[in-house]
Amino acid sequence: MSFADNLINGTNFDHTKLNALQKVALRGVVMSFLFFGLLAIEGLIMRLVKLGPTNPLPDMFSHAPHFFAIMTAHPIVGIFGSTYQLVFSAFIFLVPFLAKKPLYSVKLANATWLLITIGTALAWIACFLWHYAPLYTLYWPLPADLKQFEAIGGIVFIVGAALIMIGTLCFIYNIYATIFARVGVHKNKTTKELLISGFGIDGLLNLWHKITGKPPYSKEPALSLPVVAIFRGTVDTFLDALVILSAGILVLIYIVFSAAGHSLDVSAIDALLYKNYFWWGLDLVADGLVLIYVAGSWYLLASIITGQRLFMENVARAALMLELIVSWMVWSHHLLADQPQPEMMKLISGEMVTAFELLTQGLALFITLVTLWKARPLKMTMELKYLLGGLIGFGLAVPAAIIQADMGMNRILHNTTWISFAHFHMALIVGLYMTLYSAVYVLWPLVTNGTKMYSSKLSNAHFWLYFIGGVGMGAFVGMAGLQGALRRHLYVHGEFHTLFTLGAIFGSMIVIAWALFLYNIVMSVGIKGLIGIFLPAQDKTASYGLEPEEA
Amino acid sequence: MTFQNSIELLKFHSVAYSIYALMIISIVAWFGYNLAKKEKAKSIIRIPFYGYIAFLVIGGVGHHIFTYNTIPWVQEDMMKDQIKPDKVFHIQIKDHKWILPKTPMVVNCGKPTLFDVTSGDLMYGFGLFRQDGTIVTQMQVDPGHENKLMWTFNFDGTFNLTSTEYSGPAQYDEKGNDLLFVKNAVKVVGCENKKGGN
């Protein structure tokens, strides 16, 4: 097949054979990878700006309003435009597939990716056109500071964020409505049984029964383990959406009143209380949603790759319950440098409960590795490679955070590039995304009806460039943090030059890796196929792998 | 074992984490290699589940116990209301400008010093840095609250000040210079032969 043929028609991809569920899942995936490209380019721009005099970019990127507008847009594009979309799309497909019943609503799933896409685009436009730049943390009263920002920028940004959250709520409703639907295998299950399984209480009871010598509470839990993880993580997603929405409404009220010439008193809102509230919600993304969803994804991937049951499944179910509770109580580690924050909250929430994440994530790592080990020898497929990469990512990122979530270390590491790169860039780029790439390779044949990937060499090149780039950037820029580099600071005089240069080199590998991946995907599905994904599905089936009477 | 200043702590931390990082990458690489070997690889060691859990718990809790006992500013921070400072510096910040009592603020070696910082508008940070850019200490400055940092300097030196929290692009001029940067804001004296910054 010629290059032009491949580019237009792909390998053997036929979008007309995709059903409604497959198409809606693929739409979110396409948008996610497009946003990832934007994310990677923004990241590289910021890395290059920090090279100072050797920065090859035009001067405008080094101007504070422009630079911090990019820094504000970057996590919105990354967390919501890319990560949320990819995770939500995977789960929109996986929940009906694993629960063996149809998705509650394809229309709602379409609304999800559309709202998140439009919302992310609006937030990005607010940063690009009006340089609205309060950063994702929105520390009060900065987002309502109209001495520094234009009202229109703030309004567009908040409307964008609100659309993202409404899209998120659509996803949540769809997932729970699917899980609780009493059809197919759950025809005879009660809501109580599904709730007990969803919260992992059956796993806990099974463990208790084993200890007390009783027969198992439930031999076949109502929900499979990955669905339990999705159920559990979605609780945090819901709470987080409420917090971000309410904070957005507050900011919007202040901006609108101020723009109308009736400024409200910003000191009426306690900055520290707001910070606690906002971090409680925001941390549900990082320490709740991500870690729970990731643990669930590891379990799923390990089961699919090995074709065997998960090792210590009951412990895994119970641990997911523990993770949920832990995730509600750890936000104070973001406030260890805030002196008015009560010391007991720093100690209990910020240090002790946070340290539990080492336990819950370590447990997920252990269960995944043992499941793989028991099934050896395994073929080193792309999905297995990415899974191992994802495990390394979290193996590096979680301890980096635990080190900083300490009253002694935080005094010298707070707001440095240690936390932004050694921890959360490592967790997201290497840990989360490599796990998601593994899921992409596992789900690819199912979602695309067995479409052949264009090039395995490109897949491998993507893996190595991405892995080395992600770990390298996280390590070197993280090390700059140990030398005093601040994470939300503009450096234009060549400070920390060696480490920042290495960070830019490794960061550019991530951009190249993304380009190779995109090229591989486009050559596999073809431009026609890519467009076809967004055309209405002829087959309206909202399930996958079920017999017609079941669907 | 006690860390006298952040430099010592950061060096220790840098080495310890680098060793850990290389170890975890090597272990997973070794694991992956053995996973894919044609013949079924034999287990070299058997990791007991409860032993592993104990290791994680000890690692998580032990880390805090270790830092509490080796980093002097942890106890000082927790007990700051009961410690009488040798000197108190009242500092204000508003409209991206510091109002400092004097420059440099001269501090006596080995004596607890209190930095009392208030913000009149936004959230800022109060961070002291050595001449080579490494952090000595810092805190967040929450508007509408008292922000007090107790610190004991154990080495002579002069330290620069800037905000460690983002407060909008107005912190910088058109060329990207940090307007909140104060050169030699703090000077520590009286440590005899100990030089090199706290």
Residue B177 with chain A: CB contacts under 8 Å: 492
Please give the single-letter amino acid code of residue A152.
Answer: I
DSSP A535: S
Chain pair A-B, CB pairs under 8 angstroms: 224
Per-residue pLDDT at A279: 94
Q: Count other Cβ atoms within 10 Å, centred on residue B198.
A: 25
Short-list A330, A346, A349, CA closest to A338: A346
Q: Are A250 and A157 in contact (CB under 8 A)?
A: no
Short-list A252, A405, A229, CA closest to A324: A229
Q: Encode pLDDT of A345-384 as tens digits.
A: 999 999 999 988 888 899 999 999 999 999 999 999 999 9
Residue A212 lies in a domain: no
pTM: 0.94
Q: Encode pLDDT of B100-144 as tens digits.
A: 999 999 999 999 999 999 999 999 999 999 999 999 999 999 999
Lowest mean pLDDT among A345-359, A420-434, A475-489: A345-359
- CB contact under 8 Å between B122 and A145, yes or no, is yes
Please give the single-letter amino acid code of residue A21.
Answer: L
- CB contact under 8 Å between B10 and A412, yes or no, is yes
Average pLDDT by stretches of 10, chain B with 198 residues: 86 93 96 91 81 90 92 91 96 98 95 97 98 96 97 94 98 96 97 63
- Report how far residue A87's alpha carbon sits from residue A71's, in angstroms, rounded to the nearest whole number: 23
Residue B24 with chain A: CB contacts under 8 Å: 392, 395-396
**CATH number of the domain enclosing A356:** 1.20.210.10
**For residue B104, is the peptide bond before it cis, meaning its omega torsion is within 30 degrees of 0?**
yes
Q: Where on the phi/psi map is residue A200: left (φ > 0), alpha (ψ -120 to 50), or beta?
A: left
- Report how far residue A280's alpha carbon sits from residue A372's, in angstroms, rounded to the nearest whole number: 35
- How is residue A173 written in tokens? 């409703």
> Least CA distance to A352: which residue of chain B?
B61
Residue A43 lies in a domain: yes
Chain B: give the shortest CA distance to residue A409, in Å: 8
- CB contact under 8 Å between B138 and A415, yes or no, is yes
Residue to substitute from B18, B52, B97, B140, interface A, most A β-carbons within 10 A: B140
Residue A168 lies in a domain: yes
Short-list B114, B107, B130, B115, CA closest to B198: B130
Residue A266 lies in a domain: yes
Q: Which of A384, A409, A486 sits opposite B164 (nearest CB)?
A: A486
ipTM value of the model? 0.94
> Least CA distance to B171: which residue of chain A?
A64
Per-residue pLDDT at A548: 60
Query: Percent of chain A, pLDDT > 90?
Result: 82
Q: Are A92 and A234 in contact (CB under 8 A)?
A: no
Domain that holds residue A84: 3-188+224-533
Per-residue pLDDT at A319: 84
Full strand arrangement of the beta sheet holding B105-108: B105-108, B182-189, B157-162, B124-129, B135-141
Residue B147 with chain A: CB contacts under 8 Å: 338-340
Instruction: Decide the pairing of beta strands B105-108 and B112-119.
Output: unpaired
Q: Are A459 and A411 in contact (CB under 8 A)?
A: no
Query: Percent of chain B, pLDDT > 90?
Result: 80
Per-residue pLDDT at B198: 53
Q: Which residues pair with B91 in a beta bridge?
A: B117
Structural domains of chain A, count: 1
Q: Are A278 and A286 in contact (CB under 8 A)?
A: no
Name, in order, each residue with C-beta under 8 angstroms of A382's C-beta and a sequence gap of 6 or more: A437, A438, A441, A456, A459, A460, A463
Q: Residues A47-71: what's their mean pLDDT? A: 96
Per-residue pLDDT at A211: 87
Q: Are B120 and B93 in contact (CB under 8 A)?
A: yes
Q: Residues A189-198: what's their mean pLDDT? A: 89
Residue A366 lies in a domain: yes
User: Is a pLDDT exceeding 90 seen at residue A217?
Assistant: no
- Report how far residue A311's alpha carbon sits from residue A371's, in angstroms, rounded to the nearest whole number: 5
Q: What is the 3-state secondary structure (H, E, C) of chain B?
A: CCCCCHHHHHHHHHHHHHHHHHHHHHHHHHHHHHHCCCCCCCCCCCCCHHHHHHHHHHHHHHHHHHHHHHCHHHHHHHCHHHCCCCEEEEEEEECCEEECCCCCEEEECCCEEEEEEEECCCCEEEEEECCCCCEEEEEEECCCCCEEEEEECCCEEEEEEECCCCCCHHHECCCCCECCCEEEEEEEECCCCCECCC
Chain A: give the shortest CA distance to residue B197, in Å: 14
Length of chain A in terms of residues written: 551
Per-residue pLDDT at B48: 86
Short-list A12, A15, A118, A110, CA closest to A530: A15
- Report how far residue A206's alpha carbon sits from residue A221's, in angstroms, rounded to the nearest whole number: 10
Residue A285 lies in a domain: yes
Q: Encode pLDDT of A276-314 as tens digits.
A: 999 999 988 877 778 888 999 999 999 999 999 999 988
Residue A403 lies in a domain: yes
